[in-house]
Amino acid sequence: MAETVLVPMDDSPGSRRALEFALSTFPDAEVHALHVIDPSTGYLVAENLPTGDVGNPRERAEERGTAVLSEAEGVAADHGRRIATAIETGKPARRIVEVAEELDADHVVMGSHGREGVSRVLLGSVAETVVRRSPVPVSVIR
Protein backbone atom coordinates (compact mmCIF):
# COMPACT_ATOMS: atom_id res chain seq x y z
CA MET A 1 0.00 0.00 0.00
CA ALA A 2 1.16 3.54 -0.70
CA GLU A 3 2.88 5.39 2.11
CA THR A 4 3.19 8.79 0.41
CA VAL A 5 0.64 10.14 -2.06
CA LEU A 6 0.96 13.38 -4.02
CA VAL A 7 -2.21 15.19 -5.08
CA PRO A 8 -1.71 18.18 -7.41
CA MET A 9 -4.42 20.77 -6.72
CA ASP A 10 -5.91 23.58 -8.73
CA ASP A 11 -9.35 25.07 -8.17
CA SER A 12 -11.11 22.54 -10.41
CA PRO A 13 -13.75 20.02 -9.36
CA GLY A 14 -11.48 17.28 -10.74
CA SER A 15 -8.69 18.06 -8.30
CA ARG A 16 -11.17 18.07 -5.40
CA ARG A 17 -12.43 14.64 -6.53
CA ALA A 18 -8.81 13.45 -6.76
CA LEU A 19 -8.15 14.54 -3.17
CA GLU A 20 -11.32 12.79 -1.96
CA PHE A 21 -10.21 9.66 -3.83
CA ALA A 22 -6.70 9.77 -2.35
CA LEU A 23 -7.98 10.27 1.18
CA SER A 24 -10.44 7.39 0.97
CA THR A 25 -8.30 4.98 -1.10
CA PHE A 26 -5.09 5.48 0.87
CA PRO A 27 -6.31 5.86 4.46
CA ASP A 28 -2.89 5.28 6.03
CA ALA A 29 -0.80 7.25 3.56
CA GLU A 30 0.82 10.61 4.12
CA VAL A 31 -0.99 12.86 1.62
CA HIS A 32 0.73 15.90 0.10
CA ALA A 33 -1.36 18.51 -1.73
CA LEU A 34 0.62 20.54 -4.26
CA HIS A 35 -0.39 23.72 -6.06
CA VAL A 36 1.85 24.77 -8.95
CA ILE A 37 1.97 28.37 -10.14
CA ASP A 38 2.73 28.46 -13.85
CA PRO A 39 4.57 31.71 -14.63
CA SER A 40 4.05 31.24 -18.38
CA THR A 41 0.34 31.99 -17.91
CA GLY A 42 0.98 35.51 -16.63
CA TYR A 43 -0.42 34.15 -13.34
CA LEU A 44 -3.93 34.31 -14.84
CA VAL A 45 -5.11 36.98 -12.46
CA ALA A 46 -5.98 40.05 -14.48
CA GLU A 47 -9.23 38.63 -15.86
CA ASN A 48 -10.38 37.63 -12.37
CA LEU A 49 -10.21 41.11 -10.90
CA PRO A 50 -13.40 43.17 -11.05
CA THR A 51 -11.53 46.48 -11.07
CA GLY A 52 -8.95 45.45 -13.64
CA ASP A 53 -6.23 46.35 -11.11
CA VAL A 54 -3.72 43.53 -11.37
CA GLY A 55 -1.70 44.57 -8.32
CA ASN A 56 1.22 42.21 -7.86
CA PRO A 57 0.47 39.17 -10.07
CA ARG A 58 2.84 36.91 -8.13
CA GLU A 59 1.16 37.77 -4.83
CA ARG A 60 -2.28 37.21 -6.35
CA ALA A 61 -1.20 33.79 -7.68
CA GLU A 62 0.17 32.84 -4.27
CA GLU A 63 -3.05 33.99 -2.59
CA ARG A 64 -5.04 31.85 -5.01
CA GLY A 65 -2.78 28.87 -4.30
CA THR A 66 -3.11 29.40 -0.57
CA ALA A 67 -6.90 29.44 -0.91
CA VAL A 68 -6.87 26.22 -2.96
CA LEU A 69 -4.68 24.48 -0.39
CA SER A 70 -6.74 25.81 2.51
CA GLU A 71 -9.81 24.26 0.92
CA ALA A 72 -7.86 21.00 0.52
CA GLU A 73 -7.01 21.05 4.23
CA GLY A 74 -10.72 21.47 4.95
CA VAL A 75 -11.58 18.46 2.80
CA ALA A 76 -8.94 16.42 4.63
CA ALA A 77 -10.31 17.57 8.00
CA ASP A 78 -13.77 16.38 6.90
CA HIS A 79 -12.14 12.95 6.49
CA GLY A 80 -10.49 13.22 9.91
CA ARG A 81 -7.10 13.63 8.26
CA ARG A 82 -4.30 16.15 8.04
CA ILE A 83 -2.32 16.76 4.87
CA ALA A 84 0.93 18.46 3.98
CA THR A 85 0.66 21.34 1.52
CA ALA A 86 3.09 23.20 -0.73
CA ILE A 87 3.08 25.86 -3.41
CA GLU A 88 5.69 25.55 -6.16
CA THR A 89 6.41 27.59 -9.29
CA GLY A 90 7.17 26.20 -12.73
CA LYS A 91 5.69 24.17 -15.55
CA PRO A 92 2.97 22.18 -13.78
CA ALA A 93 3.64 18.73 -15.25
CA ARG A 94 7.39 19.05 -14.75
CA ARG A 95 7.08 20.31 -11.15
CA ILE A 96 4.56 17.59 -10.26
CA VAL A 97 6.95 14.88 -11.45
CA GLU A 98 9.90 16.55 -9.71
CA VAL A 99 8.03 16.89 -6.43
CA ALA A 100 6.87 13.26 -6.63
CA GLU A 101 10.53 12.28 -6.96
CA GLU A 102 11.64 14.63 -4.15
CA LEU A 103 9.01 13.21 -1.80
CA ASP A 104 9.80 9.65 -2.87
CA ALA A 105 6.04 9.38 -3.42
CA ASP A 106 4.50 6.00 -4.05
CA HIS A 107 1.55 7.32 -6.05
CA VAL A 108 0.22 10.48 -7.70
CA VAL A 109 -3.54 11.08 -7.77
CA MET A 110 -4.71 13.96 -9.93
CA GLY A 111 -7.80 15.33 -11.55
CA SER A 112 -8.44 15.67 -15.23
CA HIS A 113 -10.21 18.63 -16.76
CA GLY A 114 -11.74 16.24 -19.27
CA ARG A 115 -10.77 18.18 -22.38
CA GLU A 116 -11.12 16.34 -25.64
CA GLY A 117 -10.36 16.83 -29.29
CA VAL A 118 -8.86 20.07 -30.53
CA SER A 119 -8.77 21.85 -27.15
CA ARG A 120 -6.73 18.99 -25.65
CA VAL A 121 -4.30 19.04 -28.57
CA LEU A 122 -3.92 22.83 -28.45
CA LEU A 123 -3.78 23.22 -24.69
CA GLY A 124 -1.96 19.98 -23.89
CA SER A 125 -2.78 17.87 -20.91
CA VAL A 126 -0.92 18.16 -17.64
CA ALA A 127 -2.35 14.82 -16.50
CA GLU A 128 -1.27 13.09 -19.70
CA THR A 129 2.27 14.46 -19.40
CA VAL A 130 2.51 13.41 -15.75
CA VAL A 131 1.29 9.91 -16.63
CA ARG A 132 3.98 9.61 -19.30
CA ARG A 133 6.84 11.00 -17.18
CA SER A 134 6.06 9.93 -13.64
CA PRO A 135 8.34 7.33 -12.09
CA VAL A 136 5.43 6.12 -9.93
CA PRO A 137 1.83 5.05 -10.67
CA VAL A 138 -0.62 7.85 -11.47
CA SER A 139 -4.38 7.71 -11.01
CA VAL A 140 -6.30 10.28 -13.05
CA ILE A 141 -9.75 11.08 -11.69
CA ARG A 142 -12.44 12.55 -13.91
Would you list the domain boundaries of the chain? 4-141
Determine the distance from the C-alpha atom of residue 71 to the mean position of all C-alpha atoms in its chain, rounded to a whole number: 12
Across residues 61-83, what is the average pLDDT?
Answer: 97
Better-scored residue on pLDDT, 47 or 74: 74
Instruction: List the one residue out of 59, 65, 135 whose CA is nearest residue 97.
Output: 135
Residue length of the chain = 142
Better-scored residue on pLDDT, 21 or 1: 21
- pLDDT of 50 reads 54
CATH code of the region 4-141: 3.40.50.620
As a 3-state breakdown, the chain gives helix, strand, coil percent values, each rounded to 5, of 50, 20, 30
Whole-number percent of the chain with pLDDT over 90: 72
Q: How many CB atoms lie within 10 A of CB 110?
A: 29
Predicted TM-score of the model (pTM): 0.87
Across residues 122-137, what is the average pLDDT?
Answer: 87
What phi and psi values does residue 86 have, to the nearest 5 degrees?
A: -155, 150
